């Protein structure tokens, strides 16, 4: 076991993917000599060369469009969008080309593209640098969406995303980049018998009273809430995959606990939590003893950094939601 930050774990996972397959190519703004603004790709250009780790122009639409061409030629491009708010110039390419090309060609042309996006708040950044756009992509058929919550899951899921023949939008919780955790680098990410299925949710803490479904940066927050909430037993589920969502694991947990709280940083309306609430309402109508409750960001543009702590869900809001559903 090795202790790594999440950023270093993603770096190690990318290194494994590049060693395994010569067709894996990385490119994005400042990812080469600089190693990216968060240093996630640090050292990879030095070790693999400028022909496999390329610095791209400041043009997200061009970055995604280039990835489409590379995928058509048999490569596995891994592109970095420098910040979450910068993805919108490339949005048309992602939803109109990347997501649809495989089906449009009746399976003849695959799109094994991984789109890495640092997302979420909590780092005191300026406007356009702290957004949660995951629902846009989870809504788009043809895309898979993954988001790791800790170093071990990051190390494995980035490799699985790169190896996937479907396009994967890979959201990296930027305020967790520096969280450290143990990583077992001996596990083969592509060995289905050894590595967890990236498209299945993980029960990261068992509990009996309330199921808490969360992902990415909120997993640590929910675990902290579970530790602080001594009178209610919370079962914490890391969704990990936002498209597809593993409803089998969620339903099984809700059947045991009879209550569900969904937590995410993104705004309330039209978020991942709304979809989960609707699905669980359909599948567990006769089991639920309380309405599905959501703990989210607010329906406002992401605020200035000096007040972002009032926008982001914290352990007190998670505990409050758990206490409310227990009162029914």
Element (H, E) at 192: none
Q: Which is the catalytic residue, given 51, 129, 139, 264?
A: 129
Comparing C-alpha atoms, which of 227, 312, 205 is closest to residue 263?
Answer: 312
Place of tokens 């022909």: 51
Full DSSP string of 32-73: SSS--TT-TTTTHHHHH-TTTEEEPPS-HHHHHHHHHHHHHT
CA-based nearest residue to 4, from 168, 125, 148, 190: 148
Q: Which two tokens stand for residue 164?
A: 């996937």
Q: Check if the beta carbon of residue 217 is closer than 8 Å to that of residue 173.
A: yes
- Verify whether residue 129 is a known catalytic residue: yes
In Å, what is the CA distance from 132 to each residue of 21, 135, 309, 310? 31, 8, 15, 16
**C-alpha–C-alpha distance, residues 318 and 32, integer Å:** 40
Catalytic positions, please?
A: 129
């Amino acid at each position: 076991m090795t202790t790594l930050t999440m950023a270093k774990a993603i770096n190690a996972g990318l290194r494994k993917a590049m060693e395994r397959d010569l067709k894996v190519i990385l490119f994005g703004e400042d990812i080469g000599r600089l190693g990216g603004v968060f240093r996630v790709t640090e050292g990879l250009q030095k070790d693999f060369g400028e022909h496999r780790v390329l610095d791209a122009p400041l043009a997200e639409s061009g970055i995604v469009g280039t990835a489409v061409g590379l995928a058509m030629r048999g490569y596995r491009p891994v592109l970095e969008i420098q910040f979450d708010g910068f993805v919108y110039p490339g949005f048309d390419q992602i939803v109109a080309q990347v997501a649809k090309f495989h089906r449009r060609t009746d399976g003849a042309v695959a799109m094994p593209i991984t789109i890495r996006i640092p997302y979420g708040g909590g780092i005191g950044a300026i406007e356009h640098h702290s957004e949660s756009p995951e629902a846009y992509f989870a809504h788009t058929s043809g895309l898979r969406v993954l988001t790791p919550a800790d170093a071990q899951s990051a190390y494995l899921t980035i490799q699985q995303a790169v190896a996937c023949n479907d396009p994967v939008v890979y959201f990296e919780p930027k305020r967790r980049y520096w969280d450290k955790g143990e990583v077992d680098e001996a596990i083969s990410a592509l060995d289905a018998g050894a590595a967890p299925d990236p498209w299945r949710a993980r029960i990261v803490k068992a509990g009996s009273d309330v199921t808490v479904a969360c992902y990415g940066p909120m997993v640590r927050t929910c675990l902290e809430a579970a530790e602080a909430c001594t009178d209610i037993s919370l079962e914490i589920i890391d969704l990990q995959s936002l498209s597809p969502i593993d409803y089998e694991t969620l339903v099984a947990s809700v059947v045991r606990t009879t209550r569900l709280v969904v937590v995410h940083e993104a705004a309330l309306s039209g978020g991942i939590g709304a979809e989960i609430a609707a699905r669980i309402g359909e599948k567990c109508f006769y089991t639920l003893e309380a309405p599905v409750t959501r703990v989210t960001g607010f329906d406002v543009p992401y605020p200035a950094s000096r007040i972002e702590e009032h926008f982001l869900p914290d352990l007190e809001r998670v505990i409050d939601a758990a206490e409310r559903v227990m009162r029914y």
